[in-house]
């Protein structure tokens, strides 16, 4: 349904500068362990992630995954839920019991809301239902690799933009921006992840706590509204639309 709506109402946020090619150039020195039993899927994922500069190691059974993960040399595990020898959930439970704290992203053909909850309870940090867009996976992998540190900052800053978390006020230069509570939350989420792609699904999950994304173009509408408050005529735009993927908040060079 979402896809169809996107087609008929092309890019809600067209008034936003679109950015295409240069996302993904941000390289990050990280090692990722991919535990996935379908080789073709694994090859595509590896190709894609390697394009972002990650080094990816692939294993196709839970046992091998367990052995590799125990070495502690990975920054992220991408784990398929259903593996030939045993369940990905049990694998992560075992690792968590051994105090292996590496971030875990589950991939699963089980898309039910309950399954997602089970995955997160077992110690996963994110859960992506198959089929997924490779860009969605990359964006989420990046989000997990660069998880914002628990900061004690009370004011977030991105270029000229300032968000006071105590007084609940947003300012651009000296202009005060009136925000609704949800807009505030949305901006806070984006400002904690500057220069990084956030996908529509990530925003729905994180800002709206909406597990089963129903109408993703709603996010575009909300972002568009927020953007019109932040980037007004004559100002350097801070919001960018990465077509087909999501949004970036950043200060252009």
Partner 1 sequence: MSPSELLRSTTFRLASALAGLFGASTLLIFAFIYWQTAGSETRRIEQLIAYDAKTEAAEPRDMVERFVTTKVTQDFHHLTYAALFDAKGRRIAGDLEAMPADLPVDGQVHVTRVVPPGNGGPEVETVRAVARRLDDGSFLVIGRNSEELERLREEVARALELGLAPAILLSLATGFLLTWRASARLKEVNDAAERIMLGQLRERLPVHGSGDDFDRLSVIVNRMLDEIERLLDEIKGTGDEIAHDLRTPLTRVRARLENARRKRAPVEELEAAIDKAMIGLDQALAIITALLRIREIEAGRRRSGFSEIDIAEVVAGAEELYQPLAEDRHIGLTLHLDPVKPFYGDRDLLFELVGNLIDNALKFTPSGGAVTVSLSDGRGGRVLRIADNGPGIPEDERARVLVRFYRSARDQQIAGVGLGLSLAAAIAKLHDVRIVFGDAEPGCIVELHFDNAVRRAGAAVAGRPAGTAIAPTPAQ
Binding site for partner 1 (CB under 8 A): 1-8, 12, 111-114, 129, 131, 180, 182, 208, 210-212, 214-215, 217-218, 221-222, 224-225, 244
Minimum CB separation of residue 3 from partner 1 in Å reads: 4
Toward partner 1, which CB reaches closer, 9 or 176? 9
Kindly state the tokens that stand for 42. Answer: 């694994």
Q: Are 162 and 191 within 8 A, CB to CB?
A: no
Cα distances from 161 to residues 12, 195, 196, in angstroms, run 24, 13, 16
Give the CA count within 13 Å in the CB-facing half-sphere of 112: 4
193: closest CA among 179, 207, 214, 182? 207
Cα distances from 199 to residues 137, 140, 217, in angstroms, run 10, 8, 11
Minimum CB separation of residue 185 from partner 1 in Å reads: 11
Minimum CB separation of residue 63 from partner 1 in Å reads: 30
Toward partner 1, which CB reaches closer, 196 or 222? 222
Toward partner 1, which CB reaches closer, 118 or 146? 118
Burial 11-37, CB ≥16 within 10 A → b, else e: ebbeebeebeeebbeeeeebebbbbbb
Minimum CB separation of residue 10 from partner 1 in Å reads: 10
Secondary structure (3-state) at 90? helix
Question: What angle is formed at CA 61 by the lines to CA 60 and CA 66, rounded to 5 degrees?
Answer: 115
Minimum CB separation of residue 252 from partner 1 in Å reads: 25
CB neighbour list of residue 141: distance below 8 Å, 6 or more residues apart:
32, 49, 54, 76, 78, 105
Toward partner 1, which CB reaches closer, 8 or 174? 8
Toward partner 1, which CB reaches closer, 189 or 208? 208
Minimum CB separation of residue 196 from partner 1 in Å reads: 23
Q: Are 38 and 46 within 8 A, CB to CB?
A: no
Toward partner 1, which CB reaches closer, 56 or 129? 129
């Amino acid at each position: 349904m979402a896809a169809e709506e996107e087609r008929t109402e092309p890019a809600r946020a067209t008034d936003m500068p679109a950015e295409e090619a240069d996302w993904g150039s941000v390289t990050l020195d990280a090692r990722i362990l991919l535990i996935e039993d379908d080789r073709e899927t694994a090859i595509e994922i590896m190709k894609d992630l390697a394009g972002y500069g990650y080094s990816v190691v692939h294993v196709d059974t839970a046992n091998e995954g367990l052995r590799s993960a125990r070495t502690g040399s990975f920054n992220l595990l991408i784990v398929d839920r259903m593996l030939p020898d045993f369940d990905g959930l049990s694998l992560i439970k075992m690792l968590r019991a051994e105090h292996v704290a590496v971030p875990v992203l589950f991939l699963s053909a089980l898309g039910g809301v309950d399954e997602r909850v089970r995955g997160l309870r077992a110690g996963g940090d994110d859960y992506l239902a198959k089929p997924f867009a490779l860009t969605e996976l990359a964006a989420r992998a990046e989000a997990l690799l660069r998880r914002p540190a628990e900061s004690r900052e009370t004011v977030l800053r991105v270029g000229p933009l300032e968000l006071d978390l105590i007084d609940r006020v947003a300012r651009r230069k000296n202009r005060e921006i009136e925000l609704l509570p949800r807009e505030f939350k949305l901006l806070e989420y984006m400002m904690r992840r500057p220069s990084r792609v956030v996908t529509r699904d990530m925003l729905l999950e994180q800002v709206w706590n909406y597990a089963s994304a129903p109408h993703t173009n709603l996010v575009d509408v909300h972002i568009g509204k927020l953007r019109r408050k932040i980037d007004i005529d004559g100002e350097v735009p801070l919001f960018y639309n990465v077509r087909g993927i999501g949004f970036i908040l950043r200060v252009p060079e």
